[in-house]
Structure 1
Amino acid sequence: MGDDPVLYQIRVDGHLGPILMTAFPAFVSEQQGGETVLTGLLPDAAALFGVLFEIESLGLDLLEVRRVRPPLHQDLGPPRAGPAKCATEPSAIEGRCSVSTEQQETLDAILRQSAFPVDSGVEEQRRLLRELTSAQPLPAEVTVESAELGGVAVAGITVDGVEPRHVVLYFHGGVYVLGDAFSSAGLASQVGRRADAKVVSVDYRLAPEHPYPAAVDDALAVYEALLEDGVAPSDIVLAGDSAGGGLAVATLVNARDHGLPLPAAAYLMSPYADLTLAGASIDTKRKADPLLSRELLEPRVTDYTAGQDASLGLISPVFADLSGLPPLLIQVGSHEVLLDDAVRLAQQAAGADVEVILDVTPGVPHVFQAYGPLLDEATAALDRAGQFLAARLTGAERVTG
């Protein structure tokens, strides 16, 4: 991770008085029309995410984040004026608005600063991830409670004002060795909010301490427990990011093979679906991806597979028989080495007569949906996912009602 402080300019709607400014001690403020511009040095990406989530928790409308590139002695000029919201639909490569392009460049720079060193081990990567996620407080309206289902630890996530008529069974990312259900609650809650659902996020066991099939077993146990508790499969959707996306598909395949009724749909964000790392984009997108690389992924594959064949369908769902699965929405960015995992997974599903939508957003990184405060495309993609999930849940109600 980079050690040099970075100068940021952050625009928010409205005027911040002296009391609100106490929440941002690292910044100086300037009023420009009906907006406030905050300018300050931050030591790392974790600090920036902390500021952005503080802005969100205070109910302020974030308009723009700029990573100021010139040296401090140069005249930086005022922040670029104009509305920040422009990515309501997947952007075409040509005609993409300049605000969105600058957001993408800013996020890319931030992520490169916070990327794991290639030679880092599991414990160091876990520590660095904890530092990053600990700086991202949950919105005040999100509640997370520890629970257990099927003998597996889970996080129950609810959003004030959302009447949960359904359940999102969520699987966090982290290449099967990092993260937990609680640190991913922010993104999971965004999915639940849009699906009018309570989220049950599975705190599955991690490798290398618990290699395959521990995560797969835990995921199926929680799904079975939901069914045994009386939740109708038509009221359940699966969702996951990165490894969690791959695990969601593996859970569908596993549930089908165990003769269980399947949920209404699944939503996969940048699924890590081929642990053989055979997709062409693992190499062709190396320079474009600010986070992941073959060199970072290969040691973690060994941690998880522990001598098992990485091409097994429950490890790498791109090689699984996907017939009979419910509708899938697969979202991925064009600036990630796992692009081909998503593309090939969609092809595998389509070849098995599964209803599938492949939604590729250009110019954005791995699990870009997690960066809503920084990136318009993140909110737009989550909104599309919410529409997809709501339609499948409503459709399942009509069929079973």
Structure 2
Amino acid sequence: MTSEQRTTLDAILRQSAFPPDIDLDEQRAQLRALLSAQPLPTDITVTAGELGGVPTADITVDGVEARHTVLYFHGGVYVMGDAALSADLAAQIARRTGAKAISVDYRLAPEHPYPAAVDDALAAYEGLLNNGTSPADIVFVGESAGGGLIVATMVNARDHGLPLPAAAYAMSPYADLTLAGESMKTKREADPLMNPDALLARIPDYVADRDAALGSISPIFADLSGLPPLVIQAGSHEVLLDDAVRLAREAAAADVEVTLGITPGVPHVFQAYHAVLDEGATALDHAGRLLSAYLSRSAGVPHE
């Protein structure tokens, strides 16, 4: 059944993939239409909030006793998306970890280029800590650009002397804005959704006049020492495959506990299709078990 699911999903995504030459406003509108087409499950509630002056979408799931907090960062190559559009995927993590989810509405480029997203992410985390939430009860979760942003935020928090969360979970992280990964070429035809040309076109919007190889822009080049356990997942049919593999390698080299999972035959952020793709639900289940274990292990002993 999963082979048929993968084939069907691949065909759907190829039909909905953005041409690399359309303008950003149209890309934003198409993404919103795509993500809004599927209504949220009725047991998910989304309300507007804020942390540290940064807008958020606060997500609760009926029947889930929220003992922990998922601080969530959406994707969209730093120029698209918003906090509420990722509510379903954030809620899937909340279900599996006994948590509420807070999705951060960080500022987007080109209106707000780097370091706006990095600054907002740190401000939101500081706000959560200042509200009295223990870092031992927090996990960071992000998809695509959000997956890179959670790593950059932990490095930033460490460098500012803040206690770090219990763990982090990156789905298909966009971690190298120099686009140096070999899978940019080797997975170009296999990837039904992401296009290296489209990625390249959007990089100047976010990077502006900075160096894309800065660790806070491309955390593949950051010093990852001292970070909490990291769960990284990607599909074999995505141009960002090497971002995930190399990020895991750099984390391991820095003595970070890291779990890398590569699922064959599935696309970028395949977990988002958990309702129609068995591999998506399986990956979320596995990540949920790992995050729950890390939350239990770190209870009362936050990482420094």
Partner residue, 1:274: 176
Counterpart pick for 2:241 among 296, 319, 339: 339
Q: Taking every aligned residue pair, what percent have the same amino acid on both sides?
A: 69
Give, in whole Å, the separation in 1 of the partners of 2:106 and 2:301: 32
How do 1:162-173 residues align onto structure 2 when only pairs under 5 Å count?
A: 162-173=64-75
Q: TM-score, normalised by structure 2?
A: 0.98
Shift of 1:293: 1.6
The Cα of 1:222 is off from its aligned counterpart by: 0.5
Q: Deviation at 1:307?
A: 1.3
Letter in 1 for 2:206: Y
Q: Distance in 2 between matches of 1:101 and 1:394?
A: 36
1:159 aligns with 2:61: yes
The residue type paired with residue 268 of structure 1 is: A
Rg (Cα) greater in structure: 1
Corresponding residue of 1:288: 190
- Superposed displacement of residue 284, structure 1: 0.6
Give a deviation string over 1:288-320, Cα, whole Å, max 9, x none: 000112111001111100111000001000000
Q: Give the gaps of 5 or more residues in structure 1.
A: 1-98
Aligned mates of 2:50, 2:243 — CA distance in 1:
31
**1:2-401 equivalence runs, <5 A:** 99-397=1-299, 399=301
Amino acid at match of 1:153: P
Which segments of structure 1 move beyond 6 Å, counting only runs of 4 or more? none
In the alignment, residue 344 of structure 1 is paired with which amino acid? Answer: R
Q: 1:398 to 1:216 in 2, by over 3 A?
A: closer
Task: Give how far 1:130 is off.
Answer: 1.3
Give the counterpart letter for 1:304 in structure 2.
Answer: Y
Give the TM-score normalised by the residue count of structure 1: 0.75
CA separation in 1, counterparts of 2:72 and 2:34? 21
Contact conserved, 2:20 with 2:201, CA < 8 A, in 1? no
Shift of 1:385: 0.7
Task: Give the Å deviation of 1:376.
Answer: 0.2
Instruction: Give the secondary structure class of the aligned counterpart of 1:199.
Output: strand
Offset at residue 120 of structure 1 (A): 1.0
Alpha-carbon offset, residue 103 of structure 1: 0.7
Return the alpha-carbon distance in structure 2 between the equivalents of residues 120 and 229 of structure 1: 42
Q: What is the CA-CA distance between 1:335 and the residue it aligns to?
A: 0.2
2:20 and 2:136 map into 1 onto residues whose CA distance is 43
Q: CA deviation at 1:398?
A: 6.3
Distance of 2:52 and 2:207 partners within structure 1: 24
Identify which range, 117-126 or 162-171, moves more after superposition: 117-126
SS in 2 for 1:185: helix
> What is the rounded CA distance, in whole Å, between the counterparts of 2:86 and 2:188 in structure 1?
25
Identify which of structures 1 and 2 has the higher relative contact order when contacts are C-alpha pairs closer than 8 Å and 6+ apart: 2
- 1:267 alignment partner, SS class: strand
RMSD over aligned CA atoms reads 0.8
Q: In the aligned structure 2, how far is the partner of 1:232 from the partner of 1:174?
A: 29
Tell me, yes or no, if the aligned pair for 2:90 and 2:101 is still in contact at 8 Å.
Answer: yes
Distance 2:50 2:154 in 1: 21
Separation in structure 1 between the aligned mates of residue 263 and residue 22 of structure 2, nearest angstrom: 30
Contact 2:172 2:268 in 1 (8 A): yes
- Please, which runs of 5 or more residues in structure 2 have no aligned partner? none
Question: 2: CA distance between counterparts of 1:343 and 1:250?
Answer: 17
> Secondary structure of the residue that 2:189 maps to in structure 1?
coil
What's the secondary structure of 1:387's corresponding residue?
helix
One-letter amino acid of the counterpart of residue 11, structure 2: A
Q: Kindly provide the CA deviation profile for residues 213-233 of structure 1, in whole angstroms up to 9, marking residues without a partner as x.
A: 000000000100111111100
State the match for 1:87 in structure 2.
none
Distance in 2, matches of 1:164 and 1:324, equals 28
Counterpart residue type for residue 202 of structure 2: R
Higher helix share: 2
